[in-house]
Amino acid sequence: MQYLKLITLFLKANILIELEYRANFVAHALVSLGWVSVTIVGTTVFFTQTDTIGGWTFYETLVISGMFTLIGGFIQMFLQPNVQKVIEMVRLGTLDFVLIKPVNSQFMASLRYAQLFSGVDVIAGGFIMVYAMGHLGLTPDAVTLLLFAVMVLMSMVIVYSIWMVMATFSFWFVKVGNMTELFNSVYDTGRFPVSTFQGVLRVMLTLVIPIAFITTFPAQAILGRLDAVTFVASVVMGFGMFVFSAWFWRFAIRQYSSASS
């Protein structure tokens, strides 16, 4: 209840902040549309040379592009701003104010800020998916939609956990900007089906930095191509990574308390 109220207040605060900067909204919407076109054009260019990549047709791949844009928007909207803030708070020492509050510190540190403009990308991602699905002549049934919803949730939990772990590293290495840059370049591979990649790279993208779980697998779900193993693996991956990120955060706070001055 307290947490729900806090989320509402944080959301309200963020809306107020965004309204302060109106010009930013227009600029952001334009940038966002630009990126969406880049994604679509990029995929289209690939398919002028071939009919399938990694066993996926153009419109199927477009579903992945939609998922890629949607999660990209989610990252920009919630993860990036909070992680940046955590890094800043560690550097300035204002994290102390978070730690003395009678509220879960990870909750406070990771949900406080939101860049709501990036909702544009989330919506655009959704549109791309609906458009591609239309061309494929697919209308998902209730079960498919439910599975898809779970897969998207897991996808979000997984990226959230990755970003939290990166933020947590800032307790030791005050500058972790490079790490988020690295993630963004790896995330870029998520605009194509993971089956495009071969050998070690594919294993890496499934298990080490699980980009496959973030874009390819949810796309499989909405296309009705999800197998039980992938579904269970996603749920396990989501929970596992979340638990790890929470443990790592607590561990870092303990270290911070015993090491800093």
Partner 1 sequence: MAYQIEVSHLSKHYQVHDKEPGLAGSLRSFFARKYRVVKAVDDVSFTIGQGEMVGFLGPNGAGKTTTLKVLSGLLYPTAGNATVLGFTPHQRETAYLKQFTLVMGQKQQLMWDLPALETFLVNQAIYEIPRAQFDATLKELDDLLDLGPIMKKQVRKLSLGERMKCELAAALLHRPKVLFLDEPTIGLDVTMQVRIRDFIAAFNKRYGATVILTSHYMADVTALCDRIIVIDKGHLFYDGNFRALIERVAPYKIIKLQLERPTTSEVLSQFGKVEFSDGLTAVLHVPRASATESAARLLAQLKVEDVTFEDPPVEDIIREVFAVNAASNPTAQE
The site for partner 1 (CB under 8 A) is made up of: 2, 5-6, 9-10, 12-13, 16-17, 20, 92-94, 96-97, 99-103, 108, 254, 257-261
Q: Cα angle vertex 207, ends 203, 209, to 5°?
A: 100
Q: Which residues contact 210 (CB under 8 A, 6 or more apart)?
A: 158, 237, 241
Question: Rg (Cα) of the chain, in Å, rounded?
Answer: 19
H helix intervals, the chain = 2-20, 22-49, 58-74, 80-92, 95-99, 105-111, 119-136, 142-169, 177-187, 199-203, 211-214, 216-222, 228-259
Task: For the CB of residue 156, give the shortest distance to partner 1 in the complex, in Å.
Answer: 24
Token digits for 7? 């989320």
Smallest separation (angstroms) from partner 1 to the CB of 112: 9
Residue 152, φ and ψ in degrees, nearest 5 = -65, -40
Kindly state the smallest distance separating residue 93's Cβ from partner 1, in Å.
6
* Pairwise CA distance, residues 224 & 235, whole Å: 17
Asked if 114 and 10 touch (Cβ cutoff 8 Å), the reply is yes
Q: In this complex, which beta carbon is closest to partner 1, that of residue 10 or of residue 131?
A: 10
Task: Compute the least distance from the CB of residue 254 to partner 1, in Å.
Answer: 8
**Of the two residues 13 and 232, which places its CB atom closer to partner 1 in the complex?**
13
Q: How far is CA 41 from the centre of its chain?
A: 22
The residue (of 175 and 254) whose beta carbon lies closer to partner 1 is 254
- Is the Cβ of residue 6 or residue 186 nearer to partner 1 in the bound state? 6
Q: Tell me whether residue 44 or residue 260 sits nearer to partner 1 (CB atom).
A: 260
Which residue in the block uniquely carries the two structure tokens 């596992």?
240
CB 252 to partner 1: min, Å: 14
Minimum distance from residue 81 beta carbon to partner 1 (Å): 12
Identity of the residue, 20 or 141, whose beta carbon is nearer to partner 1 in the bound complex? 20
